A and B are shown apart, each in its own frame.
Chain A
């Protein structure tokens, strides 16, 4: 699988992997991030 041309939805979580960290990780892999959120369940 690759992310080229894919629409990427990122569901990060504050106590796990935050969305901005995932965004940084996949940057440059050809995907288009269409939604990114970091959820917080306390």
Chain B
């Protein structure tokens, strides 16, 4: 995750109660989603940015996951996002994030 983005997230996590923050991802593949998920929850896995070693535990979901998708009116979701889902590894992204969430210590 971009270092500037990490810095901004860190600032926000210091400004608001962490339980009130929800991070929504739109990354196109499993690898980039896992890195962003990891960074927003357990800290920057590359140890390069402001979130290195910072365990924020922010609630983090991809927009394709049922936790977010289920909140959006189906017609709106269909109009905005469904076409993008078709061109990306949607099922793999959802499965990978659910596995990552389940493996939290």
Q: Interface residues, chain A, CB within 8 Å of chain B?
A: 1-3, 5-13, 15-19, 21-22, 24-26, 29, 31, 34-35, 37-39, 41
Q: Interface residues, chain B, CB within 8 Å of chain A?
A: 1-2, 5, 8-9, 12, 16, 20-29, 32, 36, 40, 58-59, 63-64, 67-68, 71-72, 76-77, 80-81, 84, 88
CB contact between A25 and one of B9, B21, B23, B77 (< 8 Å): that residue = B77
CB contact between B27 and one of A16, A21, A25 (< 8 Å): that residue = A16
Kindly list chain A residues whose C-beta atoms are within 8 Å of the C-beta of B28: 13, 15-17
Could you tell me the distance in whole angstroms from the C-beta of A32 to the nearest C-beta in chain B? 9
Kindly list chain A residues whose C-beta atoms are within 8 Å of the C-beta of B8: 35, 37
Contacts A7-B12, A13-B32, A17-B63; is A24 near B26 (CB within 8 Å)? no
Complex A-B: 12 CB contacts under 8 Å: A1-B71, A8-B21, A9-B40, A11-B23, A17-B26, A17-B64, A25-B72, A26-B72, A34-B12, A35-B9, A38-B26, A39-B2
Please state if A19 and B26 are interface contacts (CB–CB under 8 Å).
yes
CB contact between A3 and one of B12, B71, B77, B81 (< 8 Å): that residue = B71
Please state if A3 and B22 are interface contacts (CB–CB under 8 Å).
yes
Contacts A10-B26, A19-B26, A21-B26; is A37 near B5 (CB within 8 Å)? yes
Please state if B26 and A12 are interface contacts (CB–CB under 8 Å).
yes
